[in-house]
Structure 1
């Protein structure tokens, strides 16, 4: 065998072993290239401002991101930081805690063409597994499951169900492990937020995991604000505010506490307090898409308050204030989507604000861009059709197009808050048309359909019968006409 053939054989042998590893390079983390800048910013913000004992994983995911950006030397530095943190831990299983880091080292060295170093770290992984063969096998190590869970969670919603399975597997082996408990509570909370399926009792499934994680990590202010938001969702706002107060009085993770406490106050209607906290947080993390989106939501809500007080017809100083608030909301929503191009709900809010401000072409351009994008989750499509329907109804004054998009949203049968809002919008628009013309066949049918969807069958039957009588009268008049 010649030298080149020998080198190729070594390369292939190392590659085969690398692919057997469990680390960031083999976990098939799903995120789009356009998400990379926001992902890196979120990782760096977390490293600087989230006070946690569990930072090994965040250095590993940053190493992977650095590699994807072609910065392998920086990736090695991140892995060195992860390794240093592991060495400070008080545990008998330092080698097992190092497996993911060593696996990432091996992959980075391989991509740099430094096969000897890659081989060294492959051997370290293999020797550690042999050493603990009587306690763990390589595929059944809870710390690796936990670190895979953190990595999947950090890379976005497409990975959440897999992340949940990882934390569940880790907890099966060590039910009272504080780190596993934190990861599990956070991912279940995020799934709760993502699902928003009010008909399903699992909507509250994060309540117990959050309480358990706080019991095991009593100083964790970040967990307390998440529990407060969950209690607020469930109508236990007073208890939730106690956790908010506890978190705000702590010095831990203040930037993260501010952002979620602000969300709590915004949902409670205390917009000034929410904005105060968000502005404090954004000073530390100025590139946060999440924070800019939340600030935009506050300005949007303030504009709506003024319009509602003026019966939707603000004039004079009120009109000027509304315009100023809409302009501010647009600025922050636009910043959020520029920072995170996959931030779909921020795009919808940006489009709706352009519509509110009278910039109909900008709104239409965003809506059309989203309507022609690749298929997405049903709930996101429902939101898109609802927002576009409202834009057509209120800004473009096209009731027929609005109804068409409300019906598109309803055809997606995923139960959700959004679908309920669509049904309410359809009913409201149909009633408005009915008051103008009680003898319109389409309007009567729409009202019957809306009440049927709401489960109000008596009212649905009443409007369907009126529609049938009207159709019969129209047919008779046609038959007996001149």
Structure 2
């Protein structure tokens, strides 16, 4: 390996457009989980050369973060090979990100001659173009950056949306960018009163137009339409996707989710998800979906033996999902709730604590965690003070969400029950005052009243 003392200036490297300059921070993701998902995507879409070329770029950066520089180089070489197979040898503009990654990786390996050679290649690509706003002239840069941000961390979704929009402004018919934009909108959209107001539905329709063979997009649209009870179109999309891609794990998992949530045919959903596990046995998502199906089955049986059997199956698949995906917050919370239902209170509490820590660390799903933990304290541990605390924490985060409204309902129920015994109950009156102030947008007043109330109760 060649190595010279002529180290390239980092200012020149910093101007490159690649994973090394996009501020992809290791602490913003679960790196092992991210690696697993990238490897699964690579293996499932081996025939789609353009998409897997991008995946190899992301894999190279993750391998670099993990200190596996040679594996990172191998992935970059594979990205070049797939891109050339897809677009021919005259495709340097599509390799700008890859060449930038090569330059940075060789720089970190102290292989400065190789680093400079890639910097020179990038200069040659840019030379025929005007020097101003160079990146605008290369829509592939925006597109690949969007996908990299989207896959790396939920914290980067807003940045990913911005990049997808810029890429689509330059090439509005590009299928892979329409698909990515649709998926990220599907992930973030929560408040819509009608399908006409749903940006996700509009973009999913657009994405399907430009990706007519992508059955995952059809299922995401079906799930969105079902939210608004548009079941005829939704079920037609489900049937079409399942007919064309009966063995695709991604298709089957979304079909299973649709059936479990909207059709109530749990046996069919379970059968499909089991079939998906035969293809991808280490999919935390599919194990999670199976666990939810068995949990729903359990709720339909009054007979103890059958209920217990489905409870055990649900716990088993939740445990598998948590094992396969470290930091799977919602699966941990749901597993903890089932441990509590199973009488394993200490084990449940420990799992809740782990989930809460992960939610706070990732700043993800924290409001729902407060609600779940409040319900656990109220109904399993019979600890009303802690239940009240976590319901309040949930409510303070956002009173208008379903979780916030559920916390209001639970707090009101506690307050009313206390007042039925004592109309002057200080804590119950404080809860009512707290709810009123929070729901009226007066959080600082609510927190001040809460502090005074706690001091008064402690003095007593």
TM-score for both structures, normalised by structure 2:
0.85
Corresponding residue for residue 180 of structure 2: 183
Corresponding residue for residue 210 of structure 1: 204
C-alpha contact 2:377 2:387 (8 A) present in aligned 1: yes
Could you tell me how far 1:163 is from its partner in structure 2? 0.7
Structure 2 residue matching 1:55: 3-state secondary structure: helix
- Bigger shift: residues 371-380 or 279-288: 371-380
CA distance, structure 2, for counterparts of residue 279 and residue 30 of structure 1: 36
Closer/same/farther in 2, CA of residues 227 and 59 from structure 1, 3 Å limit: same
Unmatched runs of 5 consecutive residues or more in structure 2: 441-460
After the TM superposition, which residues 50-199 of structure 1 pair with which residues of structure 2 at under 5 Å, given as runs? 50=45, 52=48, 54-90=51-87, 94-133=91-130, 137-138=134-135, 140-192=137-189, 196-197=190-191
Q: State the aligned residue count.
A: 434
User: Any idea what the Cα deviations from partners look like across 1:214-259, whole Å, max 9, x if unmatched?
Assistant: 0111111111111111111222122111111111011387111011
User: Any idea what the Cα deviations from partners look like across 1:380-416, whole Å, max 9, x if unmatched?
Assistant: 2221221111112211223343233212211223532
Q: Does 2:278 correspond to 1:294?
A: no
Corresponding residue for residue 473 of structure 1: none
CA distance, structure 1, for counterparts of residue 247 and residue 138 of structure 2: 29
User: Any idea what the Cα deviations from partners look like across 1:269-319, whole Å, max 9, x if unmatched?
Assistant: 22222221221112222222222222221122222232xxx4xxxxxxx22
C-alpha contact 1:37 1:339 (8 A) present in aligned 2: no
Structure 2 residue matching 1:206: 3-state secondary structure: helix
Q: Does 2:378 correspond to 1:381?
A: no
Could you tell me how far 1:440 is from its partner in structure 2? 5.9
Corresponding residue for residue 249 of structure 1: 243
After the TM superposition, which residues 39-54 of structure 1 pair with which residues of structure 2 at under 5 Å, given as runs? 39-50=34-45, 52=48, 54=51
C-alpha contact 2:260 2:269 (8 A) present in aligned 1: yes
CA distance, structure 2, for counterparts of residue 415 and residue 202 of structure 1: 22
Structure 2 residue matching 1:261: 3-state secondary structure: helix
Q: Does 2:330 correspond to 1:345?
A: yes
Could you say which structure has the larger radius of gyration?
Answer: 1
Corresponding residue for residue 268 of structure 2: 273
CA RMSD of aligned residues (A): 3.0
Q: Does 2:346 correspond to 1:361?
A: yes
Corresponding residue for residue 408 of structure 1: 393
CA distance, structure 2, for counterparts of residue 34 and residue 174 of structure 1: 30
Corresponding residue for residue 313 of structure 2: 328
C-alpha contact 2:29 2:153 (8 A) present in aligned 1: no
- Bigger shift: residues 199-208 or 420-429: 199-208
TM-score for both structures, normalised by structure 1:
0.81
Closer/same/farther in 2, CA of residues 158 and 326 from structure 1, 3 Å limit: same
C-alpha contact 2:194 2:228 (8 A) present in aligned 1: no
CA distance, structure 2, for counterparts of residue 264 and residue 68 of structure 1: 37
Highest RCO, 1 vs 2 (Cα 8 Å, sep ≥ 6): 1
CA distance, structure 1, for counterparts of residue 438 and residue 194 of structure 2: 17
Closer/same/farther in 2, CA of residues 254 and 372 from structure 1, 3 Å limit: closer
Closer/same/farther in 2, CA of residues 253 and 203 from structure 1, 3 Å limit: farther
C-alpha contact 1:30 1:159 (8 A) present in aligned 2: no
